[in-house]
Structure 1
């Protein structure tokens, strides 16, 4: 008995070669479609894309276009490096903060995980860390983390574009583009309520605008992380003094670092709620109340 493949006698080596050739062609087509469809949102310009290579571990991509178009594409894909997928995602988040149309960057971040079909390429050393980076983007896209990042970026968008760009340029100059983004990703993963990312984003926007320093902004972000979400909203109606029915909430806000003790009131006879600790906003509580829900 004989076996044939494509009308020819079957040979294991030739079959493997045919399979690899088909895989290369499929990957090249996917990469071309992936980047050729990118359009610069303001001008409508599409890139000129060329894909080279005959081996899976030697596929090369060349993209040509205006500087604005190239920067738009780079928002979704960092240059190939050895730092691993999580750092690639984090550096993109940092770059998005400094982009002119910041919220558009959210859809760019989500879109970076689409249409590449990396599952069929498992085990192939394709284009270095490209596939790993795209897989990481896909993991973010397919979780609640993307929604958290979107709310965070909406908060950051409160800051002026020029100030945001200056902030991102500073991160790039100091070599902290990836580490800052990593810290944001870690923080977003810990936040346990969907109201918190926007608050953290607005706090960061206040730092970007120069109203508070970086340490205060990061400390406030950590305080928001530790707080119960509904306790934070208590600040909106907070009045200094004895908190009566809100004493337990005030005690929690005191413990996380948003209130200070201003003394003690013995209260009135027959009114158990009239006495107790006198609470007032501390520096962090005042900043959060002023900017956290603006």
Structure 2
């Protein structure tokens, strides 16, 4: 396990995130990184580097995405976070540890709003409301989806008509499934319908 993988895992397991706010994710400076609560978060130190003055724009954007993710799991108690991570790490089902999986997910996404959604989904996993596989699948969907299309997903689920091309994009994101030959769903005229992952995502975003 690399140093940065260890640090994100350690951050989720042991860090006190209760004072972390969206302000830290939106605006931070060298002084905040050195003297504020961020200096006690392992993943921040791994990205910025101890005593480093300034850092590259890619580091800045990556750190911003990481902090946006962390802000959305801060209300989950530290002991609960540690318990769930240890459970996954001791499972033979998953080849990647949780830290590695999260880093891969966040590194791939190209939108600064998406880490917030992934953090919210992860908080549902940490609270036992969804399983780890569902978290991974929904994270992959968020990575692929054009965010404004989530509103279209909600409309489609409520029975409203949505442009076929948008439905196709949502299908490619894993949030819709195709009807079987001869089946008609959602008003009787659509090839696609909102699947269990799409419904779960809608429910998570409502809360």
TM-score normalised per structure 1: 0.51
Query: What stretches of structure 1 of length at least 5 have no aligned partner?
Result: 1-82, 119-137, 266-273
1:235 to 150, 153, 169: 153
Residue-by-residue CA offset, 1:104-150 (whole Å, 9 max, x unaligned): 575534355355359xxxxxxxxxxxxxxxxxxx6698330101111
Partner of 1:93: 8
Q: Cα RMSD (Å) of the superposition?
A: 3.4
| Alpha carbons of structure 1 residues 234 and 160: separation in structure 2 relative to 1, 3 Å | farther
- Aligned-partner SS, 1:217: helix
| Alpha carbons of structure 1 residues 286 and 204: separation in structure 2 relative to 1, 3 Å | same
Name the CA distance, whole Å, in 1 between partners of 2:59 and 2:144.
26
The 5 Å alignment of 1:102-141 reads 102=17, 104=20, 106-107=38-39, 108=41, 109-111=43-45, 113=48, 116-117=51-52
1 or 2 for the larger relative contact order (CA 8 Å, sep ≥6)? 2
Query: What stretches of structure 2 of length at least 5 have no aligned partner?
Result: 21-36
Partner of 1:24: none
- Deviation of 1:230 (Å): 1.6
How many equivalent residue pairs? 180
Name the CA distance, whole Å, in 2 between partners of 1:199 and 1:188.
11
Question: Is 1:181 matched with 2:99?
Answer: yes
Which has the higher Rg, Structure 1 or Structure 2? 1
| Alpha carbons of structure 1 residues 92 and 174: separation in structure 2 relative to 1, 3 Å | farther
Name the CA distance, whole Å, in 1 between partners of 2:57 and 2:7.
12
Partner of 1:167: 84
- Deviation of 1:93 (Å): 0.8
1:221 to 118, 139, 150: 139
Higher strand share: 1
1:259 to 176, 182, 197: 176
Name the CA distance, whole Å, in 2 between partners of 1:212 and 1:287.
9
Partner of 2:66: 149
| Alpha carbons of structure 1 residues 249 and 174: separation in structure 2 relative to 1, 3 Å | closer
* Cα contact 2:13–2:85 (8 A) shared by 1: yes
- Aligned-partner SS, 2:14: coil
Question: Is 1:285 matched with 2:198?
Answer: yes
1:248 to 147, 156, 165: 165
* Cα contact 2:89–2:97 (8 A) shared by 1: no
* Cα contact 1:156–1:204 (8 A) shared by 2: yes
